[in-house]
Amino acid sequence: MLKIKLVRYSNLERDVIFDISTDIERFSKLLPKYFKSLQITKSYNSEYFVTEKISFLGKILETQTKHVVKKPDIHEIHLLTGPLRNSSFLEFYEISDNGTKVTIKVNLQFKGIFRPFSIFRYFIKKQVNKILDEFLLACENKKMNHV
């Protein structure tokens, strides 16, 4: 298992960035390079079962995920199928002096075709950091375009 903890700061208010992050059906428009499509197949209260087509390490994967949304500050994503099953992304959104502190705890478990990739920890960590940076920039640009 590869564990990564990322911390970033955004000038957006917590509720704004949290709402963008948890807008599951529109998320692929925010980061189309990585998230090809997300379709909610079932929902119950604050749990959403989603079929996702994602680009990871140059491969397009289709996976089933469970998103747990705990307003106003926690978003959990659990991968249920595919070569990254049992992996998770735990997102925490905290109010900070100048906006929001975003903490993401990534737990990746590699199975099947991705098992050999686990040795490339530095590269994977760098890619996850890049995606988070692009996400925050996209959120801030989205907010600016809607003001």
Q: What is the pLDDT of residues 92-142, one digit of tens each?
A: 999 999 899 999 999 988 776 555 555 566 777 888 889 999 999 998 887
CATH number at residue 57: 3.30.530.20
What's the rounded Cα separation, in Å, for the pair 96 and 105?
A: 18
Number of domains into which the chain is organized: 1
The parent domain of residue 135 ranges over: 2-145
Q: What pLDDT is attached to residue 124?
A: 77
Query: Any alpha helices (H) in 14-145, and if so which ranges?
Result: 14-21, 27-30, 121-145
pTM: 0.89
Distances (CA, A) of 3 to 24, 35, 136: 24, 21, 21
